[in-house]
Structure 1
Amino acid sequence: MIRFAVVGTNWISHAFCQAAHTTGLLKLAAVYSRTLDTAHSFAARYQVDVCHGNLQAMAESPDIDAVYIASPNSLHASQAELFLKQGKHVIGEKPLASSINEVKHLITVAQENSVVLMEAMKTRYLPNLQIIREALPSLGRIRRAHFSYCQYSSRYQKYLNGENPNTFNPEFSNGSLMDIGIYPLTATIELFGKPEQVSASGSLLDSGVDAHGSLTLSYDGFEVLVSHSKVSDGLTPSDIQGEAGSLLIEHISDCRKVTRIIRGEKPEDLTTDQPENTMEYEARVFAELIRNQQYQHPGLITTQIVSEIITDARKMISVVYPADKSL
C-alpha cells in the first residue's frame, strides 16, 4: 500500500482522497494545512491522526511515500520540489507549475531523485477519451474541432464586489486559461499531438488575469479551436469534424458522453460508463507508475507541451505572473 499525504484541504483534495482509496492501492497517511485545526478536521474524515503545520517536517517524514499537492497554483512548483528532493513521489494538481521553465525544472529534479512526478490531469486518463481516440479514423480526414469549457466561476461575484479571490489573482498564477482552459487544451494534445502553430486571444480583467479567451491550434490540414471562460457558461458540446462524420463530446473535461454521427447514418452513442468521481483513473495511474518505478512516462510529455503552449499564450495576451521571474 502506498502511503500518501495531502497538501491542501479544499474540495478537490477530498475528491482525490476518495478516488485514491477506491483504487485499493493508495492510503491517506498525513494531512498538511497552514492551520492545524483545519488539517485535523480534514484528516478525521479518513481516520487519519497525523497532521502537519510544517511542510518541511512532512516532506522529511519516513511515514509517507508520496504526496498529492492541491495548494494554490503559484505554490505547486516549490512544494513539489521540496517533496521530490526528499525522495517522495509527487502528483500535483493541474497545472503542475506556473510556467514551462518550472515544469522542466521539476522533471529534472524528479529524474535526479528517481521518483515519480505526475500532473493530476484527469481528462488524460479517461476511458471515454480513449474511445474518442479510437473513433477518429472513422470520421475520415479531420478538418476542424472545437473544444470548449466555459463555466461561470462561483467566485466571480466576489471579484465584482471588490474582493480579491485567489481565482482572479495573478499572484496565485490563476485565470481562465490556467484554471479551466487547460482541460480542453490537454484533450487536444492527447488526441492530436503538438500543433505546428498556436495563436491566442483573450480578455483581461483589471486584476491582470484572463476572464475568457481562445486558442487556435494549427495542424496539417485542420485546426482546433479551444474556448474557455470563467465569466460565462457554455452550453454546447465540443465536437470533432471529419469529412465522413463528426463526434460530439459533452463536457470535455470529463468526456461524459460521446456521440458519433456518420453522414447518412443514425447517431451512435459510444459512451462507456465512468464513475462520478473521474479522478479514480489518475490515482490508479499514479500508483502504477510508482509500483513499476516508471519515472519517465507519456504524461510528462503532454504536460510539457501543454505548459509550453500556455506559457506562450499568456505572453500573447499579456498575462504575467510573479512566478514567471522565479527561474
Structure 2
Amino acid sequence: MIRFATIGTNWITEAFIEAAKKVEDFALAAVYSRTDEKAKQFAAKTGAKWTFTNLEELAKSNDIDAVYIASPNSLHAEQAILLMNHGKHVLCEKPMASNTKEVKAMIDAARRNGVVLMEAMKTTLLPNFQAVREHLHKIGKIRRYFASYCQYSSRYDAYKQGTVLNAFNPAFSNGALMDIGVYCIYPMVVLFGKPNILQASSLKLESGVDGEGTIIFTYENMDAIVMYSKITNSYLPAEIQGEDGSILIDAIHTPAKVEIRYRDGRTEDITVPQEQHPMYYEVKEFIELIKNGKRESEVNSHEHSLATIELIEQARKQTGIIFPADQ
C-alpha cells in the first residue's frame, strides 16, 4: 500500500480522497491542516488515522510515503520541496506552482531526492483524452486547436460585494488563467508541444488577478486559441481542426463525449466509457509510477508541466498579472 497524506481540507481534497479510495494500493494515512480542529474534523470525515498541523513533522514521518498537495498555488513549491527533501513522493494540484522558477526548483528537488513529482492534471489522463490522442491521425494535418473553459465562480459574487476570497487574491497566485485556463493549455502542450509564440489579452480585476482572457498561440504549421473565464460562462466544445476533419470534445477539462466530423460528411463517435471518478486516473498513474520505480509520468511529465507554466507566465507578463511570488 502507498500511504498518503493530504494537504488542504477543501472540496477538491475530499473529491481526491473519494476517487483515490477506489484505486488499488491507496491508503489514506494522514491529513494536514494549519489548525488542529480542522485537521481532526477532516480526519473524522475521511477516515485518516493521523493528523498534522506541522508540515516538517509530516515530512519527517515514517508513516507517510506520498503527499497530495491541494493548498493555495503560492504554497505549492515550498511545501513540495520540503516534502521531497524528506523522501516523500508528491502529487501536486495544478497549476504546479506560481511561476517557472518555482517549477524548476520542484523538478530539481524531485530528481535530487529520487522521488516522483507529478502535476495533478486530471484531463490528460482521462480515457477520452487518450481516445483523442489515438484518433488524432484520422483528421489529417492539424491546423487549429481551440479550447474554451469559462465558468462563473460563486466567489465572484463575494468579490463584487467587496470580499476578496483566495480565488481572486494575487497573494495566492490565483486568477482565471491559473485556475482554469491551465486546463486548456496543458492538453494543448501534451498534444502538440510548446508553441513558438503567444499573444495574450485579459481583463485585469482591481484585486490584481485576471477575471477572463484569451491567448493565441502560434506553431510552425498551426495555431491555437484558448479562452478562459471565472466571471462568465461558456458552453462551447473544444475542437481540433485537421485538413480531413475535426475532433469535437464536449468539455476540455473533463472530456466525456468525443467525436470526429470528417470533411466528407461522415461522423465517428470515438467516446470511450469512463467508469471511475475523473480524479481516479491521476491517482492510479501516480501510484503505478511509484510501484514501478519510475520517477515521472510520460503524459503529465516534468517537461509538460514546465512548458505549461512557462506559457502561463509569458501570458501573465503580457497582460500585467504579477504575483508577490514573482518578486
TM-score normalised over the length of structure 2 = 0.97
Q: Distance in 2 between matches of 1:269 and 1:150?
A: 25
Equivalent residue number for residue 313 of structure 1: 315
Matching residue of 2:303: 301
CA distance in 2, matches of 1:313, 1:94: 17
1:53 matches 2:36: no
Q: What runs of 5+ residues in structure 2 fail to find an aligned partner?
A: none
CA shift at 1:259, angstroms? 1.1
Aligned to 1:17: 17
Q: Does 1:277 align with 2:281?
A: no
**Residues 135-160 of structure 1 deviation map (CA, whole Å, 9 limit, x = unaligned):** 22111222222111000011000000
What CA distance in whole angstroms lies between the structure 1 residues aligned with 2:200 and 2:77?
25
Q: Is the 8 A contact 1:25 1:284 kept in 2?
A: no
Indicate the residue corresponding to 2:182 in structure 1: 182
Question: Aligned partner of 2:164: which letter?
Answer: N
CA RMSD, 1 decimal: 1.1
Aligned sequence identity (%): 49
- The residue aligned with 1:141 is 141
Partner-residue secondary structure (3-state), 1:79: helix
| Separation (CA, whole Å) in 2 of partners of 1:19 and 1:162 | 35
Q: Residues 33-58 of structure 1, C-alpha deviation per residue, up to 9 Å, x if partnerless?
A: 11222212211233223111111111
Instruction: Report the Cα distance in structure 1 between the residues aligned to 2:201 and 2:276, rounded to whole angstroms.
Output: 33
Distance 1:79 1:145 in 2: 35
Q: Quote how far apart the aligned CAs of 1:92 are.
A: 0.7
User: Where do residues 120-269 of structure 1 align in structure 2 (5 Å cutoff)?
Assistant: 120-269=120-269
- Cα deviation for residue 296 of structure 1 reads 4.0
Residue type of the alignment partner of 1:51:
T
Distance 1:235 1:318 in 2: 28
Question: Any conservation in 1 of the 2:259–2:267 contact (CA below 8 Å)?
Answer: yes
Which residues in structure 2 correspond to 1:7-156 (within 5 Å)?
Answer: 7-156=7-156
Question: Is contact 1:99–1:307 with CA below 8 Å preserved after alignment?
Answer: yes
Take 1:47 and 1:314, find their aligned partners in 2: how far apart are those partners? 40
Letter in 2 for 1:28: L
Q: Distance in 1 between matches of 2:296 and 2:287?
A: 14
Question: Gaps spanning 5+ residues in structure 1: where?
Answer: none
1:38-88 residue CA offsets vs partner (Å, 9 max, x unmatched): 212211233223111111111111100110000111111111111011110
- What is the alpha-carbon distance in structure 1 between the residues aligned to residue 138 and residue 266 of structure 2? 14
- Render the CA deviation track for 1:108-146: whole Å, top value 9, x for unaligned: 111111111111110121121111112221112222221
Paired letter, 2:55 = L
Match for 2:189: what amino acid?
A: I
Which deviates further from its counterpart, 82-91 or 295-304?
Answer: 295-304
Q: Is residue 168–residue 174 contact of structure 2 (8 Å, CA) maintained in 1?
A: yes
Q: CA deviation at 1:276?
A: 5.4
Q: Which amino acid aligns with 1:237?
A: P
SS in 1 for 2:154: coil
In the alignment, is the contact (CA less than 8 A) between 1:115 and 1:293 conserved in 2? Answer: no
Runs of 4+ with deviation above 4 angstroms: none
Deviations 1:177-197 (A, max 9, x none): 000000010111111111121
What is the CA–CA distance in structure 2 between the aligned matches of 1:273 and 1:43, rounded to whole Å? 33
Residues in 2 aligned to 1:147 and 1:22: alpha-carbon distance in whole angstroms: 30
Amino acid corresponding to residue 113 of structure 2 in structure 1: N
The 3-state SS of whatever aligns with 2:77 is: helix
